[in-house]
Amino acid sequence: MATISGILKFGKSREMRSVAIYTFSNFFSKGVSFLLLFYFAHALTEADFGLLNLFSNGILFLMPFVSMGILQSVNTEYFKKDNKEFSNFFSTTLMMPMIVTLLAILLFFVFRTQLQQRYSFPTVFALLIPLITLFNFLNEHLINMVRNSNDPMKYLFVNIGRLLAEITLAVFFISALEFGWMGRVMGIFISYFMVAMYAFFYFKERGFIVPVIRKKYIYNELLYSVPIIVMQVGVFCMGSSAGYFIEYFTHDFAQVGVFSIAATFGSIIIVLCTAMLQYTYPKIYSLLSEQRINYAAIRWHLLFYAGVMLLGTGIVIIATPIAYNIMLKQSYQAGLSYYFFICFGYFFWSISYFLYAFMLYNKEKRKILFASLLSVIVSVVSHTLFIKYLGAYGAAVSMCVVYFIVLLITIFFVRKYLTLLFSNNLSKAV
pLDDT of residue 158: 79
Mean of pLDDT over the chain: 78
Q: Is residue 12 part of a domain?
A: yes
Distances (CA, A) of 277 to 192, 245, 283: 22, 30, 9
Q: Is residue 139 part of a domain?
A: yes
pLDDT per residue as tens digits for the range 223-275: 666 777 777 777 777 877 787 788 778 777 777 778 888 888 888 888 788 77
Q: How many domains is the chain partitioned into structurally? A: 1
Q: Is residue 231 part of a domain?
A: yes
Q: Is residue 426 part of a domain?
A: no
Instruction: Give, for all 430 residues of the chain, the pLDDT tens digit.
Output: 444 444 444 444 555 666 666 666 655 666 566 666 666 766 776 666 667 767 777 787 778 778 777 776 777 776 676 677 777 778 777 787 888 888 888 887 777 776 666 656 667 777 788 888 888 888 888 887 887 777 777 777 777 778 888 888 888 887 777 777 777 888 888 888 888 888 888 888 877 777 767 777 776 666 666 777 777 777 777 877 787 788 778 777 777 778 888 888 888 888 788 777 777 777 787 788 777 888 888 888 889 889 989 999 999 899 888 888 877 777 777 888 888 899 999 999 999 988 988 887 777 778 888 888 898 899 989 999 998 888 888 889 999 999 999 999 999 998 888 888 887 554 443 3
pLDDT per residue as tens digits for the range 186-208: 888 888 888 888 888 888 887 77
Check: pTM over 0.75? Answer yes or no.
Answer: no
pLDDT per residue as tens digits for the range 102-123: 888 888 777 777 666 665 666 7
Q: Is residue 429 part of a domain?
A: no
Which ranges constitute the DSSP H helices of 82-124? 83-110, 112-119
Distances (CA, A) of 364 to 45, 173, 243, 369, 409: 45, 46, 31, 9, 15
Domain that holds residue 147: 2-421
Q: Is residue 312 part of a domain?
A: yes
Please provide the DSSP assignment of 118-179 as one string: HH---TTHHHHHHHHHHHHHHHHHHHHHHHHTT-HHHHHHHHHHHHHHHHHHHHIIIIIS--
Q: Is residue 428 part of a domain?
A: no
Q: Is residue 117 part of a domain?
A: yes
pLDDT of residue 353: 87
